[in-house]
A = this chain, B = another copy of it.
Amino acid sequence: MQGTPNIARIGTLLGDNTRAQMLSALMHGKALTASELANESGVTAQTATTHLSKMLAGGLLKLERQGRHKYFALASEDIAALLETLMGLAGNEVPLRTLTGPRDAAMREARICYNHLAGSRGIRLYDSLLARRLLVTSSGNLALSGAGERYMMNFGIELEALKASRTPLCRSCLDWSERRSHLAGSLGRAILARFESMRWVKREQNSRVLIFTRAGKQAFDAEFSR
């Protein structure tokens, strides 16, 4: 019976309350950071770290680094299926696995990721800049084209100040609610700041949600329609 230990290994991983809580928090398909998972399961950050690295090593989770955050998600559909079976047997109501991110519609539409725009509007911005070749990818790196630089300055971005900084101007950032990329980096931050100064968006209190004003929506749609 040489194969047996492996099933016990997975069982052990599933057999801890804290880990089980983390896993079921991940059941809705959204990736969560280490500290979110620590919160969710009610343990300290240190403890969460040990659990997460165990589940990572055990193949239950996968990891996506994003700046100083680490986003954890279920490693595969098979793992999700296993958990669903398990929950079914345990007689729990199975939490609906909505594979596309935040429940909240407003959050799906627009939210802050670090200090830049994420959500479906973030992706439309990113796609539009790429389609108009204002933003180009060269050898895997994202950069503004000449037209792009002129466009941004015209849009009210202090481009020279940004270029002086050491932090990268353009970076792409994986959007966990849409599973697509959006624009990050100091340019991403500057664009969001510009949106705010133009009153296109307002921040919601104690939340990452961004509210587009009516005027802001119209202007955004006109500017980034393609």
In the bound complex, how far is the Cα of B7 from the Cα of A82, in angstroms? 11
A25 to B1, CA, bound (A): 8
Chain A's interface size range is: 35 or more
Say yes or no: A15-B11 contact (C-beta < 8 A), given A78-B89, A82-B85.
yes
Taking the closest CB of chain B, its distance from the CB of A37, in whole angstroms, is 12
A6-B90, A85-B85 as given contacts; A13 in contact with B11, CB under 8 Å:
yes
Q: Are B10 and A86 in contact (CB under 8 A)?
A: yes
Instruction: With A1-B21, A6-B90, A81-B85 given, name 17 new contacts (CB 8 A).
Output: A1-B40, A3-B24, A6-B91, A6-B92, A7-B23, A7-B83, A7-B86, A10-B14, A10-B15, A11-B13, A11-B14, A11-B86, A12-B15, A14-B14, A15-B15, A78-B85, A79-B89
Output the nearest chain B residue to A40 by Cβ-Cβ distance: B1
Contact B89 A82 (CB under 8 A): yes
14 contacts between A and B (CB under 8 A): A3-B90, A4-B21, A6-B91, A6-B92, A7-B23, A8-B15, A8-B17, A10-B14, A10-B89, A10-B90, A12-B15, A12-B16, A13-B15, A79-B89
